Amino acid sequence: MAEEEKAGPRRTFLKQAAGLAGAGSLVSASVAATVGAPASNADSAPAIPYQSLSADEATFIEALVNVMCPADEHSPNGVDCGLATYIDLQLAGPYGKGAGRYQQAPFRSGKLELGWQTPLTPEEFCKAGIAAANAACVRRHGKPFAQLSPSDADEFLTAVQADLVRDDALSLSLWFNDVIYKLFVEACFSDPMYGGNRRAVFWKMIGYPGLPATHTLDVVRYRGKPYPGAKNPKSIGDFT
pLDDT by residue (tens digit) across 114-158? Answer: 767 788 999 999 999 999 999 999 999 999 999 999 999 999 999
Q: Are 80 and 198 in contact (CB under 8 A)?
A: yes
Contacts of 236 (CB under 8 A, 6+ apart): 191, 193, 211
Q: Identify the pLDDT of residue 178.
A: 92
Q: Identify the pLDDT of residue 37.
A: 37
CA distance readout (Å), 133 to 5, 146, 168, 169, 192:
27, 11, 11, 11, 29
pLDDT by residue (tens digit) across 27-36? Answer: 333 333 333 3
Query: What average pLDDT does this structure show over 25-49?
Result: 42
CA 211/CA 69 separation, integer angstroms: 25
CA 72/CA 62 separation, integer angstroms: 17
More reliable by pLDDT, 57 or 119: 57
Q: Is the pLDDT of residue 66 over 80?
A: yes
Nearest to 118 by CA among 171, 43, 39: 171
- Bond from prior residue into 106 cis (ω within 30 degrees of 0): yes
pLDDT by residue (tens digit) across 180-202? Answer: 999 999 999 999 999 999 999 99
